[in-house]
Amino acid sequence: MPAYYLEALTVTLGLVLLIAEAFVSTKSKAWVGIAAAVGLGGVLVLTCIAIGPDAKPDSAWAKWPLWNFYQFDSLARFYKTFALVCTILVILLSIDYRKILARFTDHPGSENGTGEYYALPVFACVGMMLLASAKDLAGAFVALELVTVTFYVMVAYMRRNVGSLEAGVKYLILGALSTGFLVYGIAWVYGATGTMSLSNLQPSISNLQSPTALLFGIALVMVGLGFKIGAVPMQVWIPDVYQGAPTPTTAFLSVGSKAAGFILMIRFLEPFLASDMTRGPVLKLLAILSIATLLFGNLAAIPQTNFKRLLAYSSIAHAGFLLLALASGAPETGSSLGSSQVVSFYLATYLIMTLGVFFVLAQVRIQRDGENITDFNGLGKTNPLLALALTVLLAALAGVPLTAGFIGKFFVFSLAMEAKLWAGVGVAFIAAAAGFYYYLNVVRAMWWADPGDRAAITLPAISKVCIALLTVATLVLGIWPQPILALLK
Amino acid sequence: MPSYLFWLFATVMLIGGAAVIAFRNPVSSALSVVTCFVGLAGLFIGLSAFFVGVIQILVYTGAVMVLFLFIIMLLDLKDEEKRAKGIAPLAAGVGLVIAFVVQLIGVLSRTPNKSAPALNQETLAAAAGHFPVGEKIATSLTAGRLPDVQLIGHTLFTQYNLPLQILGVLLLVATIGVVALSKKQAE
């Protein structure tokens, strides 16, 4: 099956869901979400049998001009799988979160306003899948805008909640600004090289007399992409937007949107890292970005008292580790992983840990009516199993050995040390130590603080299964990371 | 394009752009954007991109900005006029602009100056070879005319077909977003 069927099927799924939601009137809209998750699961199965034009060069579709904008390699397959898994989990999270969604959308008593909330992630997923196959800057830009515009709507979705609206306006204005930088940068890259196709960029770079104009363009594009991944100094929007947005949107932003930004960055920087003329300055830029991001994300996370805001800073901190892996600029060799594979592996473990934490946070938000760290007080006494799962997930985010998070960080550190980025390694050690402090702060609240009159939490079935699966996956991948590594080969 | 026309239109654009942020009244600002777009359209036409120039006037100046004006008048924004501007944000903004301009001058001074080939009978006829013989694009090009509407359509619907379709999905999502965020609330 040609790979572009995956996106076509996903768009169709989104359209069918929208129409079905409009014409079938039921009291609960949870079935829309379940249908979306099942449909995306079907596409996920099809990802295994999708093929690119190389696999069947004599078929009619392999000669279409479509392949100037679309490629299908192992990295594309990995990030398509990533986008689908992330979207499925976010939709499942939204199903259990619909009580809050209903309260702040149409009318507290009805779910009439919540139907589109399950269809919109499907369209964002299409954009992320297209970004995974990006081969041309024009096509990549349109796909990135599809993701961003969907997020504008999803962030402001709880329109009766002032926090959500404020987050929506902030995200819209800063997102538009970052888009401006991105387009201006693409224009400079095009002006300097005369091509927007990423595969034609490399030969045209070697013909350049002076790389100044091209480097200017690269810097502007990096500013635009820095907004998407949350790199310092383009991170200002993250804490407010993450805190104000509905929790499933926050989870989607911190995992899906970040991964989409990173795959585009990997694709965009590939030709520039391969050319001697631009390799040095690009790596220097990445190293500076990663050091600033690591320092800011981790140190600013320490005084936080709101758990959702803490996760926002934690997502900046993880972006710093990911940038450090990119800054080491290691190519893939037969025996060791390259920078792009380490980034992909790290993102995969990050998805599992972060979404697990968001599932717990959503239920605490609903049943204890708050998102502060103090709302987790005494969870170990009221819900020992849930507290144990959250402890495992947070320990993994901090990078405790025998969890998936440790292996990701270990790969990043070894790459940075091989590349002799000593400043980066030093800052990353401080950052990891700070991470232990602020993640384990929540663990302390759960096990050593008194619950007071806070009631026990009863988990809905979907949340229970997802939290259990994600926690077990964190532990299993911490000892046996081969499944993810096999996907990356 | 004669260079005095370039400077004329560029000056109109710059004045329009500066006026957008200089005016206190939102309606005046919106009209300054219109001025800026008219200058931009002039530049496009001067570069032989007639279709893009006309679309710039019809769509951006005629439709988008008029819609903006309607919205501004409907919302009746008065706060903007009263707001006092602090010196710190102004200084920061000017500082950023200066840094950017210095960077731009540095880059441009090192960039080799290349001129595009002239659009005359010869170059146009040579370009006709890329298109099927006997069709409208090829015949106009051989005759020395620039069929820019056909060329844009051809590029958009063949070469750039995939991004165009993604744009369709994007517009759909935007429409859904508008409906979902602004529909009447049940009480």
Higher pLDDT, B130 or B42: B42
Whether residue B170 lies within 8 A of chain A, CB to CB, comes out as yes
The pLDDT-based confidence of B3 (bands split at 50, 70, 90) is confident
Higher pLDDT, A89 or B77: A89
What is the least distance, in Å, from the CA of B112 to any CA of chain A? 8
Tell which of B115, B170, B171 to mutate to test the A interface (max A CBs under 10 Å).
B170
What is the least distance, in Å, from the CA of A10 to any CA of chain B? 11
Whether residue A119 lies within 8 A of chain B, CB to CB, comes out as yes
Q: What is the pLDDT of residue B121?
A: 81
CATH topology of domain B1-78: Four Helix Bundle (Hemerythrin (Met), subunit A) (1.20.120)
Whether residue B173 lies within 8 A of chain A, CB to CB, comes out as yes
B162 → closest Cβ in A69, A159, A192? A69
Q: Are B185 and A209 a contacting pair at CB < 8 A? A: no
The domain segmentation of chain B, as residue ranges, is 1-78, 133-187
pLDDT digits (tens, 9 = 90+) for B87-127: 888 898 889 889 989 988 988 887 777 777 777 888 888 88
Q: What is the pLDDT of residue B80?
A: 63
Does residue A102 contact residue A158 with C-beta atoms inside 8 Å? no
Q: Are B183 and A107 a contacting pair at CB < 8 A? A: no
Whether residue A65 lies within 8 A of chain B, CB to CB, comes out as yes
B173 → closest Cβ in A146, A213, A216? A146
Of residues A18, A259, A7, A2, the one with CA closest to residue A120: A18
What is the least distance, in Å, from the CA of A37 to any CA of chain B? 19
3-state secondary structure chain A: CECHHHHHHHHHHHHHHHHHHHHCCCCCCHHHHHHHHHHHHHHHHHHCCCECCCCCCCCHHHHCHHHHCECCCHHHHHHHHHHHHHHHHHHHHHHHCHHHHHHHCCECCECHHHCHHHHHHHHHHHHHHHHHCECEHHHHHHHHHHHHHHHHHHHCCCCCCHHHHHHHHHHHHHHHHHHHHHHHHHHHHHHHHCCCEHHHHHHHHHCCCCCHHHHHHHHHHHHHHHHHHCCCCCCCCHHHHHHHCCHHHHHHHHHHHHHHHHHHHHHHHHHHHHCHHHHHHHHHHHHHHHHHHHHHHHHHHCCCCEHHHHHHHHHHHHHHHHHHHHHCCCCCCCCCCCHHHHHHHHHHHHHHHHHHHHHHHHHHHHHHCCCEHHHHCCHHHHCHHHHHHHHHHHHHHHCCCCCHHHHHHHHHHHHHHHCCCHHHHHHHHHHHHHHHHHHHHHHHHHHHCCCCCCCCCCCCHHHHHHHHHHHHHHHHHHHCCHHHHHHHC
Structure tokens at A62: 């392999």
What is the least distance, in Å, from the CA of A330 to any CA of chain B? 29
pLDDT digits (tens, 9 = 90+) for A129-158: 999 999 999 999 999 999 999 999 999 999
Tell me the C-alpha distance between B68 and B89, whole Å. Answer: 26
First to last CA, chain A: 20
Q: What is the pLDDT of residue B187?
A: 60
10-residue mean pLDDT series, chain A (489 residues)? 93 95 88 95 94 87 87 93 96 93 83 89 96 94 96 93 93 94 94 89 84 91 94 92 95 95 95 91 95 94 94 95 94 86 95 96 91 90 93 94 93 93 94 94 91 86 95 94 89
Structure tokens at B66: 């008029």
The pLDDT-based confidence of B84 (bands split at 50, 70, 90) is low
pTM of the model: 0.93
CA of residue A42 relative to chain centroid, distance: 21
Does residue A90 contact residue A124 with C-beta atoms inside 8 Å? no
- CA-nearest residue of chain B to A65? B159
Q: What is the pLDDT of residue B79?
A: 66
Q: Are A142 and B163 a contacting pair at CB < 8 A? A: yes
pLDDT digits (tens, 9 = 90+) for B25-72: 888 889 999 999 999 999 999 888 899 999 999 999 889 888 988 888
